[in-house]
Amino acid sequence: MKLHPALLFLLFVPAFTFAQADRKGTYGNLAIGYGRYSLDLYAYAGGSNLYNDQTFSGLILSLGVERKSAWQKNRLLFDIDGNLTGGFGIKSASEASGNIGGESNGGFALGIKGSFKMGYLFQNEGKIVPLIGLGPYFTYINNGGDDAVGNYIYGLQASVGVDFRIKRMMLTPEIHLGLASWGGSDEMEQNGQPGMFEIKLKIGRRF
């Protein structure tokens, strides 16, 4: 027996709408993870310019707000979010002109980022939704110590992750990567492309 297209629509759309509605809402979230950032710096000094390659890494925490399923187009879902990131005890390592290196462990990081994300809704009542995202970011890093220097990285970042819905909670492992970035420090300017990498486990709860 053939089913009329209108009957198929009536059978499947309610289930899809339920999945969308069950996920939709505003969530507060908390995340813990690891961040790694790099800067390639130089300072003009006549005929012998100074160079300094720096890397920063450590534990990071973030706090944010996210609107799930803000828009919908067939099976594509669109989210928007913003969050603040902080890290303490950030480790920094540098290699300057003349192979002069140094390390410290007392730095801190502060950052802000926003993302516009697109997800795909499978026939699982929205319990598992893969996501990709894009948005701006800014991160300030202080390397700590007596000779502390402020460093900053900003630009466009991409993210990939998966939402796992558990009742009113959302568990999301995700990765953020800098796509087009700029940066510098209080003392030196950008020489090469900065790097930004963050991996997090985020827990969200719907308000």
In the block, tokens 């568990």 appear at 171
pLDDT at 15 exceeding the cut of 50: no
Please, what is the average pLDDT of the chain? 84
pLDDT for res 3:
46
In the block, tokens 């192979």 appear at 99
Q: How many residues does the chain have?
A: 207
DSSP 9: H
**What is the DSSP annotation of 131-172?**
EEEEEEEEEEEE--STT--EEEEEEEEEEEEEEEEETTEEEE
Q: Identify the band that residue 49 occupies on the pLDDT scale cut at 50, 70 and 90.
A: low
* Percentage with pLDDT > 70 across the chain: 84
Ramachandran assignment for 125, one of left (phi > 0), alpha (psi -120 to 50 degrees), beta (any other): left
pLDDT at 196 exceeding the cut of 90: yes
pLDDT for res 93:
87
Burial zone of 133 (CB within 10 Å; 0-12 exposed, 13-18 middle, 19+ buried): buried
Task: Read off the pLDDT of each residue in 8-18 and give the average, rounded to a whole number.
Answer: 38
**What is the DSSP annotation of 16-79?**
HHHHHHHH-EEEEEEEEEEEEEEEEEEE--TTS-EEEEEEEEEEEEEEEEEEEEEEEETTEEEE
pLDDT at 103 exceeding the cut of 50: yes
Q: Identify the band that residue 190 occupies on the pLDDT scale cut at 50, 70 and 90.
A: confident
Tell me how far CA of residue 12 lies from CA of 5, 16, 125, in angstroms.
Answer: 11, 6, 12
Topology, domain 5-206: Porin (2.40.160)
Check residues 175 and 127 and name the one with the higher pLDDT.
Answer: 175
pLDDT at 7 exceeding the cut of 60: no
Q: Identify the band that residue 8 occupies on the pLDDT scale cut at 50, 70 and 90.
A: very low
pLDDT at 125 exceeding the cut of 80: no
Task: Read off the pLDDT of each residue in 35-57 and give the average, rounded to a whole number.
Answer: 82
Q: Cα(205)–Cα(194) distance, rounded to whole angstroms? A: 34
Q: Identify the band that residue 198 occupies on the pLDDT scale cut at 50, 70 and 90.
A: very high
pLDDT at 182 exceeding the cut of 70: yes
pLDDT at 26 exceeding the cut of 60: yes
163 near 118, Cβ under 8 Å? Answer: no
Q: Cα(69)–Cα(37) distance, rounded to whole angstroms? A: 31
